[in-house]
Structure 1
């Protein structure tokens, strides 16, 4: 999906522009909320792109900020209209991590650390089916299939010919050792990892058990960067019932530094391919 119609990214850009206008007026979110008789949390959600923005919201906010240039108001209202369009993922129904999918769809690069399972963008279908079924033991077959279909569709981003997603993944050794879906599925999955690691835009590294404690012991996280300079980098932390998105410069800096330490301590890409191949052979031998 082209970035100019991605509703998630459109909301973020519009929210950033509304925050800039508020700050230019020297107003706090609480003051704006009082003027519009809404909650402060609504203003915050509008500005961070976590809430759909209506054209009426834009009109009211521009009135509070005394934006006199009609072209600016109309441009912001058009962004609001586009931000309410539906992304491709909406065709699959209520997806709990739809905000993340919207960001991933428009991202230029993704750095991820995974301590438990193969990243979704690199999963084979049998592996994905086993992961989803295991993670959601009470889900029905139809729900599992829907989630797997979304996962497979997401992988189109790293298969694009012109502008594929630049993916760098550091995997804990436990990802390779955890037998998901049986030995045949694991052997096939690890062979696929090595196949994908040959792509110029995909880099894989394994963090072996022998490394001991390392900056990734606190859990999974992803760093998304975007082609537009105005789009801030996002740190994504996946939760069971809700996810966390961090955009403050200090948070981005801290997680980026941690990731550099992870890359430095993990096996290099060539060593990683050899390591994965050895484990895949163990699965294949049964």
Structure 2
């Protein structure tokens, strides 16, 4: 499903740019049939393909390119693993109105369905948690000896912590937050219920 959405987005970008499938195929050194399969969501799209297509379609918005690349990384042949805990407050404060909120909730439900994704919701009813001071992202690498990297978001600044006790403390913090969040099945049910409320 996510692959189809990525494909549809690529098709929309190509159409908006006034480009043809043969032109896209030439930019990728691929066949027109391969481009059709990408746009239909039948084959994975690689990061270099997305960069080449963004160049062809004259897309210089880093946010769009990054969004496409992230989607690609969750559905390709060797997908990244994603574990996310989202506070209910975030889900109830979508910008852009109810139609945008519904679309974003649907995207979360589709993403939560992927085998490489663990999505959990921290509901208001679970009380407070030690991560309320701000959001953070932990990047873990499978290579032996690789350090976790923690990205912290705060007002007006971002900070990075690489390895050591500080990164380990964020790993523990993430586990504590996840312990009080809904499980994966309950989280998807929560998203469905919230979508119906909009």
| TM-score grouping bracket, smaller chain normalisation | 0.5 to 0.7
1:234 to 138, 149, 161: 149
The 2-side partners of 1:179 and 1:231 are apart by: 36
Structure-2 residue corresponding to 1:31: none
For residues 248-284 of structure 1, what are the alpha-carbon distances to aligned partners after superposition, in whole Å with 9 as ceiling and x for unaligned? Answer: 411122111111111100011111111110110111x
The 2-side partners of 1:236 and 1:157 are apart by: 19
2:101 to 163, 186, 189: 186
Say how many residue pairs are matched: 147
Structure-2 residue corresponding to 1:252: 167
Aligned with 1:192: secondary structure? Answer: helix
1:149 to 65, 68, 71: 65
Do residues 207 (structure 1) and 125 (structure 2) align? no
Structure-2 residue corresponding to 1:225: 140
Give the 3 Å change call, closer, same or farther, for CA 248–199 of structure 1 in structure 2: closer
The 1-side partners of 2:91 and 2:169 are apart by: 27
Aligned with 1:180: secondary structure? Answer: coil
For residues 20-41 of structure 1, what are the alpha-carbon distances to aligned partners after superposition, in whole Å with 9 as ceiling and x for unaligned? Answer: xxxxxxxxxxxxxxxxxxxxxx
Structure-2 residue corresponding to 1:164: 79
Aligned with 1:238: secondary structure? Answer: strand
Give the 3 Å change call, closer, same or farther, for CA 276–157 of structure 1 in structure 2: same
Q: Where does structure 1 lack aligned partners over 5 or more consecutive residues? A: 1-86, 93-141
Within 5 Å, give how 1:1-286 maps onto structure 2.
145-161=61-77, 163-239=78-154, 242-283=157-198
The CA deviation at 1:152 is 2.1
Q: Where does structure 2 lack aligned partners over 5 or more consecutive residues? A: 1-46
The 2-side partners of 1:153 and 1:240 are apart by: 26
The 1-side partners of 2:90 and 2:73 are apart by: 22
TM-score (norm 1): 0.47
The CA deviation at 1:90 is 9.4
For residues 92-143 of structure 1, what are the alpha-carbon distances to aligned partners after superposition, in whole Å with 9 as ceiling and x for unaligned? Answer: 8xxxxxxxxxxxxxxxxxxxxxxxxxxxxxxxxxxxxxxxxxxxxxxxxx87
Over aligned residues, Cα RMSD in angstroms? 2.6
The CA deviation at 1:210 is 1.5
Give the 3 Å change call, closer, same or farther, for CA 274–204 of structure 1 in structure 2: same
